[in-house]
Structure 1
Amino acid sequence: MRLQITTPLSVLVDEDSVRALRGEDETGSFGILPGHAAFMTSLTISVVSWTREDGTRHHCAIRGGVLAVTEGRAIAIATREGVPGDDLATLDRVVLARFQSELDTERIEGAEHARLELNAIRQIMRYWRADGRRDAGRFT
Protein backbone atom coordinates (compact mmCIF):
# COMPACT_ATOMS: atom_id res chain seq x y z
CA MET A 1 0.00 0.00 0.00
CA ARG A 2 1.03 3.59 -0.41
CA LEU A 3 1.14 5.83 2.68
CA GLN A 4 1.28 9.61 2.63
CA ILE A 5 1.31 11.75 5.75
CA THR A 6 1.10 15.46 5.03
CA THR A 7 0.84 18.74 6.89
CA PRO A 8 -0.26 22.03 5.34
CA LEU A 9 3.41 22.83 4.72
CA SER A 10 5.14 19.54 3.95
CA VAL A 11 5.03 15.87 3.09
CA LEU A 12 6.27 13.98 6.16
CA VAL A 13 5.99 10.43 4.83
CA ASP A 14 5.59 9.10 1.29
CA GLU A 15 6.10 5.32 1.09
CA ASP A 16 4.94 2.73 -1.43
CA SER A 17 5.75 -0.48 0.42
CA VAL A 18 3.48 -0.43 3.49
CA ARG A 19 2.23 -3.85 4.59
CA ALA A 20 0.12 -2.75 7.59
CA LEU A 21 -0.80 0.43 9.48
CA ARG A 22 -2.05 1.04 13.02
CA GLY A 23 -3.85 4.26 13.95
CA GLU A 24 -6.09 5.65 16.66
CA ASP A 25 -9.38 7.56 16.52
CA GLU A 26 -11.96 8.45 19.18
CA THR A 27 -13.21 4.84 19.30
CA GLY A 28 -9.75 3.38 19.88
CA SER A 29 -6.97 1.69 17.98
CA PHE A 30 -7.52 0.15 14.54
CA GLY A 31 -5.51 -1.56 11.83
CA ILE A 32 -5.42 -1.35 8.06
CA LEU A 33 -4.18 -4.07 5.73
CA PRO A 34 -4.03 -4.19 1.91
CA GLY A 35 -7.50 -4.49 0.40
CA HIS A 36 -9.18 -2.60 3.27
CA ALA A 37 -12.57 -1.12 2.39
CA ALA A 38 -12.80 2.59 1.69
CA PHE A 39 -12.58 4.27 5.05
CA MET A 40 -12.31 7.73 6.55
CA THR A 41 -11.87 8.75 10.18
CA SER A 42 -10.75 11.62 12.36
CA LEU A 43 -7.53 10.80 14.21
CA THR A 44 -6.67 11.82 17.76
CA ILE A 45 -3.33 13.07 19.00
CA SER A 46 -1.47 9.77 18.75
CA VAL A 47 1.30 7.80 17.12
CA VAL A 48 0.59 6.16 13.77
CA SER A 49 2.72 3.05 13.22
CA TRP A 50 3.29 1.06 10.06
CA THR A 51 5.22 -1.97 8.91
CA ARG A 52 6.98 -1.94 5.57
CA GLU A 53 7.20 -4.94 3.24
CA ASP A 54 10.74 -5.61 4.51
CA GLY A 55 9.38 -5.96 8.09
CA THR A 56 10.76 -2.71 9.49
CA ARG A 57 8.46 -0.64 11.70
CA HIS A 58 8.16 3.13 11.49
CA HIS A 59 6.17 5.71 13.42
CA CYS A 60 4.87 9.25 13.19
CA ALA A 61 3.44 11.27 16.07
CA ILE A 62 0.51 13.28 14.77
CA ARG A 63 -1.48 16.13 16.21
CA GLY A 64 -4.86 14.76 15.17
CA GLY A 65 -5.93 14.72 11.57
CA VAL A 66 -7.93 12.84 8.98
CA LEU A 67 -7.12 9.39 7.62
CA ALA A 68 -8.58 8.10 4.35
CA VAL A 69 -8.18 4.68 2.75
CA THR A 70 -8.77 4.62 -1.01
CA GLU A 71 -9.34 1.44 -3.04
CA GLY A 72 -7.55 -0.63 -0.40
CA ARG A 73 -4.22 0.51 -1.85
CA ALA A 74 -3.62 4.02 -0.56
CA ILE A 75 -3.68 5.60 2.89
CA ALA A 76 -3.59 9.38 3.17
CA ILE A 77 -3.25 11.19 6.48
CA ALA A 78 -3.62 14.95 6.67
CA THR A 79 -2.53 16.43 10.00
CA ARG A 80 -1.81 19.87 11.45
CA GLU A 81 1.56 18.73 12.70
CA GLY A 82 3.54 15.52 12.71
CA VAL A 83 6.93 14.21 13.73
CA PRO A 84 8.20 11.03 12.05
CA GLY A 85 10.70 8.87 13.89
CA ASP A 86 11.82 5.33 14.53
CA ASP A 87 12.08 5.61 18.33
CA LEU A 88 8.55 4.95 19.58
CA ALA A 89 9.40 5.70 23.22
CA THR A 90 10.64 9.20 22.40
CA LEU A 91 7.68 9.97 20.16
CA ASP A 92 5.23 8.72 22.75
CA ARG A 93 6.78 10.45 25.74
CA VAL A 94 8.13 13.73 24.36
CA VAL A 95 6.23 14.62 21.22
CA LEU A 96 2.73 13.56 22.30
CA ALA A 97 3.17 15.41 25.60
CA ARG A 98 4.13 18.56 23.65
CA PHE A 99 1.13 18.20 21.31
CA GLN A 100 -1.24 17.76 24.26
CA SER A 101 0.25 20.77 26.05
CA GLU A 102 -0.17 22.93 22.93
CA LEU A 103 -3.78 21.77 22.59
CA ASP A 104 -4.49 22.69 26.22
CA THR A 105 -2.94 26.13 25.67
CA GLU A 106 -5.10 26.67 22.55
CA ARG A 107 -8.23 25.77 24.52
CA ILE A 108 -7.35 28.25 27.27
CA GLU A 109 -6.60 30.97 24.71
CA GLY A 110 -9.90 30.25 22.94
CA ALA A 111 -11.83 30.59 26.18
CA GLU A 112 -10.03 33.87 26.95
CA HIS A 113 -10.83 35.17 23.46
CA ALA A 114 -14.53 34.33 23.91
CA ARG A 115 -14.53 36.07 27.31
CA LEU A 116 -13.05 39.23 25.78
CA GLU A 117 -15.65 39.24 22.98
CA LEU A 118 -18.50 38.89 25.48
CA ASN A 119 -17.12 41.76 27.57
CA ALA A 120 -16.96 43.97 24.47
CA ILE A 121 -20.58 43.13 23.62
CA ARG A 122 -21.65 43.94 27.19
CA GLN A 123 -19.90 47.32 27.01
CA ILE A 124 -21.64 48.16 23.73
CA MET A 125 -25.01 47.19 25.22
CA ARG A 126 -24.38 49.38 28.30
CA TYR A 127 -23.51 52.30 26.05
CA TRP A 128 -26.69 51.91 24.02
CA ARG A 129 -28.89 51.51 27.11
CA ALA A 130 -27.38 54.54 28.86
CA ASP A 131 -28.86 56.92 26.32
CA GLY A 132 -32.50 56.04 25.66
CA ARG A 133 -32.56 58.32 22.60
CA ARG A 134 -30.34 55.99 20.60
CA ASP A 135 -31.92 53.44 18.30
CA ALA A 136 -30.19 50.10 18.96
CA GLY A 137 -30.56 49.15 15.29
CA ARG A 138 -28.84 52.28 13.97
CA PHE A 139 -25.33 53.57 14.63
CA THR A 140 -24.66 57.31 14.37
Structure 2
Amino acid sequence: MSGAALTLTLATPARVWFDAVEIVSLRAQDESGSFGIRAGHADFVTLLMPSVVRWTEADGATRYCAVDGGVLMVARGAQVSIACREAIAGAALDSLEVAVRDYHAAEEDAARRARVDQLRLHARAVRQMLRYLHPGPDAAALGATPQ
Protein backbone atom coordinates (compact mmCIF):
# COMPACT_ATOMS: atom_id res chain seq x y z
CA MET A 1 0.00 0.00 0.00
CA SER A 2 3.06 2.28 -0.07
CA GLY A 3 2.15 3.83 -3.45
CA ALA A 4 -1.27 4.92 -2.23
CA ALA A 5 -1.91 8.52 -1.28
CA LEU A 6 -3.32 9.87 1.93
CA THR A 7 -6.31 12.15 2.13
CA LEU A 8 -6.74 14.79 4.83
CA THR A 9 -10.01 16.09 6.22
CA LEU A 10 -9.83 18.78 8.89
CA ALA A 11 -12.98 20.22 10.47
CA THR A 12 -14.16 22.40 13.32
CA PRO A 13 -17.76 22.67 14.51
CA ALA A 14 -18.17 25.80 12.38
CA ARG A 15 -16.31 24.85 9.21
CA VAL A 16 -14.70 22.11 7.14
CA TRP A 17 -11.25 23.54 6.46
CA PHE A 18 -9.95 20.74 4.22
CA ASP A 19 -12.04 17.98 2.69
CA ALA A 20 -10.25 14.90 1.35
CA VAL A 21 -7.17 16.85 0.26
CA GLU A 22 -4.56 14.52 -1.24
CA ILE A 23 -1.37 14.57 0.84
CA VAL A 24 1.90 12.65 0.95
CA SER A 25 2.68 12.96 4.67
CA LEU A 26 1.55 14.71 7.83
CA ARG A 27 3.23 15.75 11.10
CA ALA A 28 1.28 16.42 14.28
CA GLN A 29 1.82 16.45 18.03
CA ASP A 30 0.11 14.58 20.83
CA GLU A 31 1.02 14.18 24.49
CA SER A 32 3.84 11.76 23.65
CA GLY A 33 5.47 14.20 21.21
CA SER A 34 5.66 14.83 17.49
CA PHE A 35 4.80 12.04 15.08
CA GLY A 36 4.45 11.47 11.35
CA ILE A 37 1.85 9.77 9.16
CA ARG A 38 2.45 8.34 5.69
CA ALA A 39 0.34 6.15 3.43
CA GLY A 40 -0.12 2.67 4.86
CA HIS A 41 0.00 3.82 8.50
CA ALA A 42 -1.82 1.55 10.93
CA ASP A 43 -5.26 2.64 12.08
CA PHE A 44 -4.68 5.16 14.80
CA VAL A 45 -6.56 7.58 17.09
CA THR A 46 -4.92 10.19 19.30
CA LEU A 47 -5.66 13.44 21.12
CA LEU A 48 -3.72 16.33 19.65
CA MET A 49 -2.07 19.02 21.72
CA PRO A 50 -2.68 22.67 20.82
CA SER A 51 -0.01 22.86 18.11
CA VAL A 52 0.71 23.29 14.43
CA VAL A 53 -0.12 20.39 12.12
CA ARG A 54 1.85 20.37 8.88
CA TRP A 55 1.54 18.28 5.77
CA THR A 56 2.99 17.92 2.33
CA GLU A 57 0.47 17.94 -0.48
CA ALA A 58 0.73 15.80 -3.62
CA ASP A 59 2.21 18.77 -5.55
CA GLY A 60 5.03 19.07 -2.98
CA ALA A 61 3.67 22.18 -1.23
CA THR A 62 3.86 22.24 2.56
CA ARG A 63 0.79 23.55 4.37
CA TYR A 64 0.19 24.39 8.02
CA CYS A 65 -2.77 24.60 10.36
CA ALA A 66 -2.76 25.69 13.99
CA VAL A 67 -5.20 23.57 15.98
CA ASP A 68 -6.55 24.05 19.48
CA GLY A 69 -6.13 20.41 20.43
CA GLY A 70 -8.47 17.90 18.84
CA VAL A 71 -8.70 14.31 17.71
CA LEU A 72 -6.66 12.82 14.86
CA MET A 73 -7.73 9.53 13.32
CA VAL A 74 -6.09 7.41 10.62
CA ALA A 75 -8.39 4.93 8.88
CA ARG A 76 -7.45 2.18 6.41
CA GLY A 77 -3.93 3.61 6.14
CA ALA A 78 -5.17 6.25 3.71
CA GLN A 79 -7.58 8.63 5.44
CA VAL A 80 -6.45 11.17 8.01
CA SER A 81 -9.22 13.05 9.80
CA ILE A 82 -8.77 15.82 12.34
CA ALA A 83 -11.62 17.25 14.39
CA CYS A 84 -10.83 20.24 16.60
CA ARG A 85 -12.54 23.19 18.29
CA GLU A 86 -10.58 25.91 16.49
CA ALA A 87 -8.23 25.93 13.50
CA ILE A 88 -6.29 28.57 11.60
CA ALA A 89 -4.74 27.56 8.28
CA GLY A 90 -1.70 29.10 6.62
CA ALA A 91 0.63 28.55 3.71
CA ALA A 92 3.71 29.66 5.67
CA LEU A 93 4.70 29.52 9.33
CA ASP A 94 5.41 33.24 9.68
CA SER A 95 2.02 34.29 8.30
CA LEU A 96 0.34 31.60 10.41
CA GLU A 97 2.01 32.97 13.53
CA VAL A 98 0.65 36.45 12.75
CA ALA A 99 -2.84 35.05 12.05
CA VAL A 100 -2.85 33.12 15.36
CA ARG A 101 -1.72 36.23 17.27
CA ASP A 102 -4.42 38.33 15.58
CA TYR A 103 -7.05 35.68 16.32
CA HIS A 104 -6.13 35.52 20.01
CA ALA A 105 -6.04 39.32 20.28
CA ALA A 106 -9.54 39.52 18.76
CA GLU A 107 -10.77 36.81 21.14
CA GLU A 108 -9.33 38.66 24.16
CA ASP A 109 -10.88 41.93 22.98
CA ALA A 110 -14.29 40.29 22.54
CA ALA A 111 -14.05 38.74 26.02
CA ARG A 112 -13.04 42.10 27.51
CA ARG A 113 -16.01 43.83 25.81
CA ALA A 114 -18.34 41.10 27.07
CA ARG A 115 -17.08 41.59 30.64
CA VAL A 116 -17.63 45.38 30.40
CA ASP A 117 -21.16 44.85 29.05
CA GLN A 118 -21.88 42.37 31.84
CA LEU A 119 -20.64 44.83 34.49
CA ARG A 120 -22.78 47.63 33.01
CA LEU A 121 -25.85 45.40 33.02
CA HIS A 122 -25.15 44.35 36.60
CA ALA A 123 -24.72 47.99 37.75
CA ARG A 124 -27.95 48.99 35.99
CA ALA A 125 -29.82 46.14 37.72
CA VAL A 126 -28.42 47.12 41.14
CA ARG A 127 -29.43 50.77 40.61
CA GLN A 128 -32.92 49.69 39.60
CA MET A 129 -33.27 47.49 42.70
CA LEU A 130 -32.06 50.36 44.93
CA ARG A 131 -34.64 52.69 43.40
CA TYR A 132 -37.35 50.14 44.10
CA LEU A 133 -36.22 49.41 47.67
CA HIS A 134 -35.50 53.03 48.64
CA PRO A 135 -37.82 55.32 46.70
CA GLY A 136 -36.79 58.94 47.03
CA PRO A 137 -38.78 62.15 46.88
CA ASP A 138 -39.29 61.48 43.15
CA ALA A 139 -41.71 58.63 44.00
CA ALA A 140 -44.54 61.06 44.78
CA ALA A 141 -44.03 62.86 41.51
CA LEU A 142 -44.30 59.56 39.66
CA GLY A 143 -47.76 58.84 41.07
CA ALA A 144 -46.85 56.86 44.19
CA THR A 145 -49.38 58.79 46.28
CA PRO A 146 -53.11 58.03 46.13
CA GLN A 147 -55.29 60.43 44.11
Which range, TM-score by smaller chain?
A: 0.5 to 0.7
Q: SS in structure 1 opposite 2:50?
A: strand
Residue in 1 that maps onto 2:70:
65
Q: Within 5 Å, which residues of 2 pair with 1:34-45?
A: 34-45=39-50
- Residue ranges of structure 2 left out of the alignment (5+ in a row): 1-5, 112-147
Structure 1 or 2, whichever has the larger Rg, is: 2
Equivalenced residue count is: 104
Q: Does 1:76 align with 2:81?
A: yes
8 Å Cα contact 1:47-1:91 kept in structure 2:
no
Gaps of 5+ in 1: 106-140
Structure 2: which amino acid aligns with 1:4? T
The more displaced of 68-77 and 13-22 is: 13-22
Q: Match of 2:30?
A: 25
One-letter amino acid of the counterpart of residue 21, structure 1: L
Q: TM-score, normalised by structure 1?
A: 0.66
Counterpart of 2:9 in structure 1 is 4
| Alignment check: 8 A CA contact 1:61 1:96 kept | no
Question: What is the TM-score when the length of structure 2 is the normalising length?
Answer: 0.63
Q: What's the counterpart of residue 52 of structure 2?
A: 47
Q: Is the 8 A contact 2:48 2:71 kept in 1?
A: yes
